[in-house]
Structure 1
Amino acid sequence: MELWYTEKQTENHGITTKITETLHSEKSEFQQIDIIQTKQFGRMLVLDGMVMTTDVDEFVYHEMIAHVALNTHPNPKKVLVVGGGDGGAIREIVKHESVEQAVLAEIDGRVIEACKTHFPNIAKELSGNPRVSVQVMDGVKHIHENKGAYDVIMVDSTEPVGPAVGLFEKGFYQGIYDALKPDGIMVAQTESPWFNRDLIKRVFRDLKSIFPITRLYTVSIPTYPSGLWSFTIASKQYDPLEVDPDTIKDLDTKYYSPELHHAVFKLPKFVQELTRD
């Protein structure tokens, strides 16, 4: 008998993939955590029925949430990841020699532990790296307790349901602004331009009302709804479009590159429209 997993991505659309076994399944205090073995994408992390990451395509998301902002800031020393319990963003952050401390604020410690066991390549920097601080706590609370502390803050959240709802609200973004240093930068995953247009428009508008520089960029992630995914970067001082590609060092990446740094901001017209008032 063939086994298939289907994520219902909208009321009218889903993605399905053949699986061989369930490696881990538990109900944590915050969400349902499942790790399944798929034929096409290797191991897959699913939270509350939504695909979060896979062995095969994880590098796209983790590289692109991290390196655009970190290469826009001229000297990032202290970096925060809100969410991101799989550890992939942290893995990419510590590739930057200037970073002295990378802090993970993840509300669900069970996600961290499950990923350490089943995704060792993604979570490899969560244990034993003196530059990494793992804090199992509410990221919103951490933001409000650390005013002016960070050079870069990354919001590596699940979809805007359940424990992640507050990570898409204007008050949270204002809290991030306050937690950043005077020349700080933030970046957040902001869902699919095909299925989440209203959310992208609202987030972009909210960030633009707080930060002087706000940009939207897109990447290709096959296991995410529609395959086209967006990130929104907001900066107090530095513009990602003004970065000289010749200054970007080789960071042993698979997706991100100096040439791509600028290219991802070239948006299709229907996506450009989401950034206009």
Structure 2
Amino acid sequence: MEVWFTEDQTKDLRISVRVKEVLFSGQSPFQKVAVYDTVEFGRLLALDNIIQTNIRDEYVYHEMLTHVGLNTHPNPKKVLLIGGGDGGSVREIVKHDNVEKVVHVEIDQMVIDVAKKFFPELSVGFNDPRVEILVDDGVKHVKENKNTYDVIMVDSPDPIGPAVGLYGDDFYRNVHEALREDGLLVAQTESPHFNRDLIARVHATLKNIFPLVRMFWAVVPTYPGGAWTFTLASKKYDPLAVDMDKFPALKTKWYSPEIHRSAFVLPPYFQELVTG
């Protein structure tokens, strides 16, 4: 008998992957957490039946969320990561030697525990002595920590359930206040094909708060539509004005200095989402 995992990516679109084995299934106080060993993508993490990451394509998302901002800021000593309990973003952040402290705020302890057990390739960064893991609400954390961080990254699930607050206007204002005077934010901002209204709203909100806002994108095969957007909001530094010759040598599979620049080249359709 064949076993398949199916995600309803929209009310009219589904993606299915054939499953070799269900490795874990549990219910946390916040969401359903499941790990599947799939034929096409290897081990796959799903939250509330929505694909979060998998062994085959995870590097695209995690490298783009982290390295673009860390290479834009000239001296990112203290970094806040909200969400991303799988550990992939932490793994990429600690590749930067100039980062002295990583505060990782994840609301769901079960996600962290599952990552440590089933995704050692992603969660390896948890062992870095610069990393402090706080099981807490990221919305509350930024509100309580003003003028603290050089870079804040939001590695959030889709805007449903416990992640809804990570897309709100008040949250972004609190992020601005939690950043130091030259700090910047990088957040994943969903699919340009299926989350058009959300992208337009988030971009407009950030432009009212930060002097510089730029959207960039990459291709993540298991996310709805493949194309996936990220948004950088900065108090001072422009990701297109950095000296790419000074980028640190990083071991990556997707990100590079050339990708850094080209990711901000938006197809006209994407550009319309952020210009109206």
Task: Tell me what 1:176 maps to.
Answer: 175
Letter in 1 for 2:6: T
Deviations 1:231-263 (A, max 9, x none): 000000000010122111221000000111100
Task: Tell me what 1:232 maps to.
Answer: 231
Task: Tell me what 1:83 maps to.
Answer: 83
| d(CA) in 2 for partners of 1:227, 1:16 | 14
Letter in 1 for 2:271: Q
Structure 2 counterpart SS, 1:243: coil
- TM-superposed CA distance for 1:22, in Å, is 0.5
Task: Tell me what 1:251 maps to.
Answer: 250
Task: Tell me what 1:31 maps to.
Answer: 31
What's the Cα RMSD here?
Answer: 0.6
Deviations 1:64-117 (A, max 9, x none): 000000000000000000011011111111111110001100000110001000
Task: Tell me what 1:122 maps to.
Answer: 122
Q: Where in structure 2 are the equivalents of 1:188-199 lying within 5 Å?
A: 188-199=187-198
| d(CA) in 2 for partners of 1:144, 1:267 | 33
Structure 2 counterpart SS, 1:254: coil
Task: Tell me what 1:98 maps to.
Answer: 98
Structure 2 counterpart SS, 1:37: strand
Structure 2 counterpart SS, 1:240: coil
Task: Tell me what 2:206 maps to.
Answer: 207
- TM-superposed CA distance for 1:144, in Å, is 1.0
- TM-superposed CA distance for 1:135, in Å, is 0.3
| d(CA) in 1 for partners of 2:11, 2:53 | 22
Task: Tell me what 1:107 maps to.
Answer: 107
- TM-superposed CA distance for 1:5, in Å, is 1.1
| d(CA) in 1 for partners of 2:6, 2:110 | 23
| d(CA) in 2 for partners of 1:150, 1:251 | 23
Task: Tell me what 1:71 maps to.
Answer: 71
Letter in 2 for 1:215: R
Letter in 1 for 2:201: R
Task: Tell me what 1:160 maps to.
Answer: 159
| d(CA) in 2 for partners of 1:87, 1:3 | 27
| d(CA) in 2 for partners of 1:191, 1:249 | 28
Deviations 1:166-204 (A, max 9, x none): 000111000000000000010100000000000000000
| d(CA) in 2 for partners of 1:208, 1:89 | 25
- TM-superposed CA distance for 1:154, in Å, is 0.3
Relative to the length of structure 2, the TM-score reads 0.99
- TM-superposed CA distance for 1:145, in Å, is 1.2
Deviations 1:110-142 (A, max 9, x none): 100010000001001113x21000000000111
Structure 2 counterpart SS, 1:241: coil
| d(CA) in 2 for partners of 1:24, 1:5 | 13
| d(CA) in 1 for partners of 2:248, 2:89 | 18
Which consecutive residues of structure 2, in runs of 5 or more, have no partner in the other structure?
none
Structure 1 counterpart SS, 2:52: strand
Instruction: Give the 4+ runs in structure 1 shifted more than 2 A.
Output: none
Task: Tell me what 2:222 maps to.
Answer: 223
Task: Tell me what 2:260 maps to.
Answer: 261
| d(CA) in 2 for partners of 1:125, 1:261 | 23
| d(CA) in 1 for partners of 2:251, 2:115 | 22
Q: How many residues align?
A: 276
Letter in 1 for 2:29: E
Task: Tell me what 1:12 maps to.
Answer: 12
